[in-house]
Amino acid sequence: MRYELYYWPTIQGRGEFVRLALEDAGADYIDVARTDTGMEAMMDLLEGAEVNHPSFAPPFLKAGEQLIGQTANILLFLGPKLGLTPKEEAGRLWVHQLQLTIADMVTEVHDTHHPIASGLYYRDQKPEALRRAADFTAARLPKFFDYFEAVMERNPGGDEYLVGKTATYADLSMFQMIAGLRYAFPRTMKKLEPDYPRLLALHDRIAARPGVAAYLASERRLPFNQEGIFRHYKELDG
């Protein structure tokens, strides 16, 4: 099975959470919108009147005849196929719950620079962004980190992963969160990091996995930039 991933071609964005799972597992996939005619193919699937189960927005995944959207839903589908989720249902739901919480966090990161409207420029919502980012860095980010650090601490499988004794797609996504937050909020992260030793160790553990390490060193890994979810505006950083 060759998976087809559809996502905007110039940013890591939400597509990166899916990409990391595919890359970690060495899955056969094509990043369709990065190919010559790929954007056209993606827009056809987004807007085509004949498409069943259309997605509201990328990322979405084509697996044979199945078209699956929503990042956490794609990962719920891929997890068992890529060996990145527990075998039993309770464990799979727990990983899914953590992934949905990461999705909430992603939205809050996005809203630090676009608190009013995605369709407006940052410069047109800067006063609101300053207020939103101040609350995010002072209150929300530590609250999310406290939660995930405690999840690791209480994991009956040990404190190396969020769930169980081996990596799941939620661990890969947490790696991406920490990498992105370091890009967007370097000053804030420097202050917060000493309080979250398990999360930071998890970041390094995931980065060292052979599939992830090879991906990060490849041209397929786009650099963070000012178009994605994680953007660095000095004035928003604590």
Instruction: Give the footprint of ligand GSH on this chain (CB under 6 A).
Output: 13-14, 57-59, 70-71, 103
3 state SS of 31: strand
Contact 19, 72 (CB under 8 A): no
Task: Tokens 């799941």: give the residue.
Answer: 168
Nearer to ligand GSH, 79 or 164 (CB): 79
Smallest gap from Cβ 204 to ligand GSH, in A, equals: 26
How buried is residue 117: exposed, middle or buried, by Cβ count under 10 Å (0-12/13-18/19+)? exposed
**Rounded Cα gap, residues 105 and 141, in angstroms:** 8
3 state SS of 29: strand
Would you mind telling me the total number of residues written for the chain in this entry? 238
Smallest gap from Cβ 57 to ligand GSH, in A, equals: 4
Smallest gap from Cβ 47 to ligand GSH, in A, equals: 12
Smallest gap from Cβ 42 to ligand GSH, in A, equals: 10
| Number of neighbouring beta carbons within 10 Å of residue 166 | 13
Smallest gap from Cβ 56 to ligand GSH, in A, equals: 7
Nearer to ligand GSH, 136 or 196 (CB): 136
Distance of CA 218 to the CA centre of its chain: 18
Identity of residue 227: E
Contact 238, 189 (CB under 8 A): no
Angle at which helices 197-207 and 141-154 cross, to 10°: 80
Nearer to ligand GSH, 58 or 164 (CB): 58
Nearer to ligand GSH, 48 or 197 (CB): 48
Smallest gap from Cβ 16 to ligand GSH, in A, equals: 9
**Rounded Cα gap, residues 188 and 203, in angstroms:** 17
Nearer to ligand GSH, 59 or 79 (CB): 59
Nearer to ligand GSH, 16 or 149 (CB): 16
Smallest gap from Cβ 11 to ligand GSH, in A, equals: 8
3 state SS of 14: coil
Nearer to ligand GSH, 63 or 214 (CB): 63
The residues, any chain, with a CB within 8 Å of residue 220's CB and separated by 6 or more, are 19, 23, 31
Identity of residue 79: G
